[in-house]
Every structure is written in C-alpha cells, then in structure tokens.
Chains A and B, each alone.
Chain A
Amino acid sequence: MLKIIQKYRDMSLANRIIAAIASFFTVAALIALPVVAWFSSQRKLAELQSIKTPDLLYLSAACAEDVKYFDISSIDVGEVNSSEPAQQLYAFAVAGQYVSSFTLQFAHTTNNQFTYRIYEANLLTHTETINGKTVDVPCTTEAEAKTAYKTLKNPENTWTDTDLDAHFREDVVAHEVNEQWDKIEMTLSQRTDLSGIENVYFIKDTCIKDAGGYLNATVTNEGRRIATDKYHADCYGEYTEFNAYAEPLYWQKTDIASVKDPTIWGAKPFFKTFILDVTWDRSKISNNKETDILYIAAFRS
C-alpha cells in the first residue's frame, strides 16, 4: 500500500492525472457493464423459409432455336383439283428450366376455315451400334426417316410405297436444326444429342388437341366454327360492334408432362416439341384469303 503511495508520489503531475482518469473509467465501466447487459435482454423468434427461383419457360422453334424459325405465314392451300393433301405440319417447342408439368394454351381467330390439331412430337430415331453399344440416333435423311417410320407404324410391311409416302407426309415433319436460341441461356442436354446434325424428323405422338376441344366454340348453320359470347366481356368489355370471326377461340391443356421419365431426367432444363397440324377444305378456302392470328402460350401448371 505504501509502495503504491510512493509510486504515486514519484509520478509527475501529468502521469498522476492520467492514473486518476484511468481508474475512474475502470470503476465506471464496472458499474456500467451489468446495467447494459440488463438493457439488451430481449426475446426473438425466427422462421426460416426458402425462396423458389422463378420459372423460365420459352416458346421456341422445334429444337429450342429462336422462335423466328417457327414460321407459319403464307400457307399455300393449293388449287381445288390439286392432288397434294390439304394439310401442313409445323413444329414448335416449349423450352426452359425444368418444370414437372405445364399448361399449353392456344387461341386463334376464325377468319379462315382452318382446322388445327396439336400433337406431342417425338424425334424419329433409328438404332445404330457405336462402340459396341446400341444407341438411338436421330434420322437425318428422308430415306432413313421413312424406314424408321415404316418400322414403327407398319411392322407387318403391308404398305406400298405410295401408302408409305402418304402416311409419312401426314405424320412426320422435317426440321432444319439451327443453333440454340441464345435467349435460352441454359445447357439443354437434348441439344447436345443433336450436335453436328442438320436435319431431323419429328413424328406425331399423342394428340392433345383434336379438331375441337375449344372453351368457347360453336358451329354455325353453315358448319363454320366460330366463338360464342362466353368471353365477350373479357375480350371487348361492353363494346358490341365487332366481326364475329375476329373473336378468338380458346383452347388449353393443363398438366402436360415435360419429359417422359422425370425420375431419370433429374430436373435438368428441357425442351418438348409439339406439332401443329393445319388442315383445310379446298372448297372453302383459296389462296386469296384473310389473315388469322394464332396465339400459343405456355406456363407451369
């Protein structure tokens, strides 16, 4: 004790002041600490939730290419006495991040008497042995495609060449493969399978839309399919002066599976191809025709 006093005495005035201030703060801190601890006690509850990443689906050309390649303008309906079938097939796809199922919607005006059908589409393939393994390889030439088609549809080999040509034209559409749409910034494993291939053939699978199936269609006395007034208010509000053929017909199908086998697929980005089948009656339509607008939409369901 006396030593401390001695030390204190030996210090200069400046040091004495410093020592005094330091000891004061120490005492003050000792008083303050328990006070602060008591003030900061509070209770908290928390619930942790994850956020889902948004869906990303695109409507693209048949192999996830830019949708500009899906060109359905200017159908040549042919002359009345033409021998060509009154049918045209177009392929498009729904591509994007994996969803287990989605809804496809289709709407169109009825200025022209076209009949629209939609089918799910599969790639026409033939088996090849590569490195000792049998793999399914897409058909790249018409001959290959026709052979594969015949094996599929006419295994008992009863068709003539003319029959084959007719059926082939009805069920299969050729597609020139372009590069993947740059807007779809995903790795599509199905595209990797198509690398280096320039032409593929799509064959109709399940029919998801037959000639009818609309939500708001009716048939006139002349046999034309036009829209009823079910969605008048939604389309036009209270407006009543419009062309009956301009009001769209609506169709949708929910829960379309994105891939055939989800468990094997593993939630990777995908594209699913569809075939739009347009048919017409030559007596009711000529090339000097009106314009129709078609809308196709897809979203996760």
Chain B
Amino acid sequence: MKNENELKKMQRASLLKMIVIAVIVVVFVVFSSVAWFTMNREVEGAGVQMTADGLPFELEVRGEKIENQLLYSKIDNNFIAGVQQKNGEGTLISSFQTAGDETHGTILWNKDASADGSYSDGLEPNAQGTLTFWVVPQKSGELNVKFNFNVRGFHAKYTTDAAHSLVNAIEITSALDTMTAEQLAVYDLTVEKLPSKHNALAYIQSHILFFKNYDNGHYSGFLGNAGNKVDFKDCLPDGTDSVTEGQKYQVTIYWKWANTLEQTVSYADSPLLDSTAETYAVDRAAILAYLADYTHHKVFDNVTDSVITTNIAKLQNASTADDKEALTALTNKYNNADEVIGNNLNYILLEMTTSTS
C-alpha cells in the first residue's frame, strides 16, 4: 500500500516535471522568434504592413480579351480568371481582381479588345505591347510593393494534320536537362535540341525590353538594368507618397521586341528612343550597359564576350565610323539570335510578380 502511494506520488511529480519542461521549451521558442523579429532592423523602419491579414493590396485587370485564353491549361494552369467585379448598381463589369484565397492569387491578364500586343500569327521581331493593371490598396497609407516582369518560355508539340493544334507544352527550364529520353520524347524533344531551347529562352528574355513610358513611337524609362522591376512608388503621381484604400492606381508598362540592333541602340530608322527627349542620354547608356552585360543578358548568338565588350564600347562614342564597325560586327548576331528564338520557342508567358521587398 505504501509503495503504491509512493509510486503515484513519484508519477505525479515526474508528470509535473515534464509539464514544466514543456512550458519552458515553448516559452523559449516564442522568445527566440520574437528576438529574431526584433533583430531584423528592416522590419522596424520599412513600414511594411506585416500584419497577419494578408497582402495590403490587390491587382485588377480590365477588358474583354485574354490572349490565347484557351491554351493556359496546357501552359500553366495556375492562372485562372480573376474575381469579376461589380459596378455601383451591382451588375458585373469586365474588371477582374486578384484575391487572397488560394485560387485567385495568380490570374489571367485581361486587356481591352483594341489594346496592342495582339498578334494572331504569333510574335516576331518588332512586336510590341502594353501591359496595364490597377493596384487596389486594401488600406490607406504607404504601400511598399515592387512589380517584377519576367519572360517564361515554352516548347510545344502540335498535331501533324492541317489543324496544327496544340498537343502539349513544356516549360524550358533546367529541369529539362534532368529528364530521360523517353520523358523528352513525349514532347517531341531530344537531348540534342535542348541547348538551342535554353539559348532561345535566354535570347528572348534579353530581346524583349521593358519600358515605363511610351510616347508617339518612342520609349523611355528603360527597366532592363533594374532587373525589369518597377517600384510602385515611382508610378504614383508626383508629390504623393501614400495611397488611399479602395482607390485604384493604374500602372502601364510597355514591352518591345526590338527588330534589329540598330533599332535597339537608336541608330538610323525607327529608333526606340527619342533623341530629342531629356531622358535620351540616360536611357541609351542604360541600354548599352544592358547589351554589354553578357553575364546576365544573352543578346547575341555565337559571339565571344570580348567582341561584345569592344563593340558596345564603340557604340558609346559619338563617332559614326566606330558605330558602323560595331554594328557590322554585331547586327547579324542579333538577327541570328532572333532566328534561334523563332525556331525553338513556341510560347512565352509575360509574367508579372509582386514583391514587398
């Protein structure tokens, strides 16, 4: 009897001990998380609304038209139509928003039926388009968000009959290099074709240029050197720093697949930049720096790095003779890269991702 009581006492004691240890561990974990948060200085000053109730904004797109709408399921079925909005009277309008639920974070890009960037036969060099969306803040105050533009490439397999319809498509990523021959054959791919596919993706990512402004046939505000990122603060009207909840702020970004190297460096006919604009010098220097940065941007096909460096440097001088030499050396390499794109890529996804850092 006495042993039993003693046993029970001991068991209760050890149970108590375990509870105490558990409580200490939990408290320790909580304190260390809090400590980590406070250690991070950025959190203090940034004013980012890192509250638990989701992102402080939604995105809205408007219009009746979605490019290649029926093909998304074969390309990337994470993109679905946004949440359709209603107007004051409660009727549905062609505005579509993202939402914080699981399905509406990534939505299709609606556009006005008459908007440019619509090529029924497919994109080719000299193609251009506009990407318009609205930011809908969910609370007033400062809004810290950046928009990242990205081009993803896809290889597609088609039926061999006259209908030429899409059978399947696969994204061109490094994952392709790990696939077996049988897995590649599903898409009519072979291991020999992969290097050209990777090159084609790198070329299109460098040949499509993003700009903040477009006016009367000319672009300005080149975004390429900023990693194709736009800070929302730069899109607000001058003098404003904070946003009002529920008010919609339009952001428009322009993209262009430059036709020739001459056009890209604003030489001769139909240059990208307006030589009389204030922003001309800055933009041209930015574009040349972009072209010269062969580590990050693959613009030219089958040319050595030193040839790129020397010739882009020549384009920086004001000398016409230097310009001509440089263009002679590089213009065919640009065009050949375009041909690699045309022969190896079937679809591209112009994707915009938001980031709060």
A and B from one assembly?
Answer: yes
Measured CB to CB, the residues of A under 8 A from B are 1-2, 5, 8-9, 24, 27-28, 31, 38, 41-54, 266-267
Residues of B close to A5: CB separation below 8 A: 11, 14-15, 18
Q: State the interface size on chain B (CB cutoff 8 A).
A: 59
A53-B55 in contact given A46-B79, A48-B68 (Cβ < 8 Å): no
Chosen A-B contacts, 11 in total, with CB atoms closer than 8 Å, are A1-B15, A5-B18, A24-B25, A28-B29, A38-B54, A46-B79, A47-B129, A49-B129, A49-B348, A51-B342, A54-B342
Query: Which of A27, A47, A266 is in CB contact (< 8 Å) with B350?
Result: A47
Query: Which of B55, B61, B347 is in CB contact (< 8 Å) with A45?
Result: B61
Cα-based distance from A41 to B56 in the complex (angstroms): 11
Residues of A close to B29: CB separation below 8 A: 27-28, 31
By the criterion CB–CB under 8 Å, are A47 and B67 in contact? yes
Of B87-95, B103-111, B225-233, B301-309, the stretch lying at the interface with chain A is: B103-111
Residues of A close to B76: CB separation below 8 A: 46
Residues of B close to A28: CB separation below 8 A: 29
By the criterion CB–CB under 8 Å, are B123 and A44 in contact? no
A31-B33 in contact given A49-B122, A51-B341 (Cβ < 8 Å): yes
By the criterion CB–CB under 8 Å, are B119 and A49 in contact? yes
A47-B26 in contact given A5-B15, A41-B55 (Cβ < 8 Å): no
Residues of B close to A1: CB separation below 8 A: 15
Return the chain A residue nearest B58 by Cβ.
A43
Query: Which of A43, A51, A267 is in CB contact (< 8 Å) with B346?
Result: A51
Residues of A close to B109: CB separation below 8 A: 45-47
Cα-based distance from A41 to B67 in the complex (angstroms): 25
By the criterion CB–CB under 8 Å, are A54 and B11 in contact? no
Residues of B close to A8: CB separation below 8 A: 18
Residues of A close to B71: CB separation below 8 A: 48
A44-B105 in contact given A2-B11, A51-B341, A51-B342 (Cβ < 8 Å): yes
Q: What string of 1s and 0s marks CB contacts (under 8 Å) between B334-357 and chain A? A: 000011011101111111111110
A50-B122 in contact given A42-B354, A43-B55, A45-B351 (Cβ < 8 Å): yes
A51-B123 in contact given A44-B79, A46-B350 (Cβ < 8 Å): yes
In whole Å, how far is A16's beta carbon from the nearest beta carbon of chain B? 11
Cα-based distance from A156 to B33 in the complex (angstroms): 103
- B315 at the A interface (CB under 8 A): no
Cα-based distance from A109 to B108 in the complex (angstroms): 56
- B52 at the A interface (CB under 8 A): yes
- B162 at the A interface (CB under 8 A): yes
By the criterion CB–CB under 8 Å, are A51 and B122 in contact? yes
* Beyond A46-B352, A52-B123, 7 extra complex contacts between A and B, CB < 8 Å: A5-B18, A38-B52, A41-B100, A45-B107, A47-B350, A49-B122, A53-B342
Cα-based distance from A38 to B53 in the complex (angstroms): 9
By the criterion CB–CB under 8 Å, are A48 and B52 in contact? no
Among A24, A45, A50, A266, the one with the most B-chain Cβ atoms within 10 Å of its Cβ is: A45
Q: What string of 1s and 0s marks CB contacts (under 8 Å) between B74-86 and chain A? A: 0110110000000
Cα-based distance from A24 to B67 in the complex (angstroms): 50
Interface residues of B in 307-348 (CB under 8 A from A): 338-339, 341-343, 345-348
Residues of B close to A24: CB separation below 8 A: 25
In whole Å, how far is B13's beta carbon from the nearest beta carbon of chain A? 10
Residues of B close to A41: CB separation below 8 A: 54-55, 100, 105
Interface residues of B in 175-217 (CB under 8 A from A): 204
- B98 at the A interface (CB under 8 A): yes
Residues of B close to A44: CB separation below 8 A: 78-79, 105-107, 351-354
Cα-based distance from A81 to B339 in the complex (angstroms): 55
Residues of A close to B133: CB separation below 8 A: 45
Return the chain B residue nearest A44 by Cβ.
B106
Return the chain A residue nearest B153 by Cβ.
A51
- B234 at the A interface (CB under 8 A): no
Cα-based distance from A89 to B296 in the complex (angstroms): 55
6 smallest A-B Cβ distances: which pairs? A52-B122, A54-B342, A44-B106, A50-B122, A47-B109, A48-B68
Residues of A close to B353: CB separation below 8 A: 42-44
By the criterion CB–CB under 8 Å, are A47 and B349 in contact? yes
Residues of A close to B106: CB separation below 8 A: 43-46
- B72 at the A interface (CB under 8 A): yes
Cα-based distance from A53 to B105 in the complex (angstroms): 33
Cα-based distance from A267 to B161 in the complex (angstroms): 12
In whole Å, how far is B326's beta carbon from the nearest beta carbon of chain A? 18
- B289 at the A interface (CB under 8 A): no
Cα-based distance from A266 to B164 in the complex (angstroms): 11
- B131 at the A interface (CB under 8 A): yes
Return the chain A residue nearest B7 by Cβ.
A2
Cα-based distance from A201 to B109 in the complex (angstroms): 56
Return the chain B residue nearest A24 by Cβ.
B25
Query: Which of B18, B79, B162, B347 is in CB contact (< 8 Å) with A50?
Result: B347
Return the chain B residue nearest A52 by Cβ.
B122
By the criterion CB–CB under 8 Å, are B79 and A42 in contact? no
Residues of B close to A266: CB separation below 8 A: 162
By the criterion CB–CB under 8 Å, are B67 and A48 in contact? yes
Cα-based distance from A77 to B2 in the complex (angstroms): 136
In whole Å, how far is B284's beta carbon from the nearest beta carbon of chain A? 25
Residues of B close to A42: CB separation below 8 A: 55, 105, 353-356
Cα-based distance from A45 to B355 in the complex (angstroms): 13
Cα-based distance from A27 to B356 in the complex (angstroms): 29
In whole Å, how far is B337's beta carbon from the nearest beta carbon of chain A? 12
Residues of A close to B342: CB separation below 8 A: 51-54
- B238 at the A interface (CB under 8 A): no
Residues of A close to B11: CB separation below 8 A: 2, 5
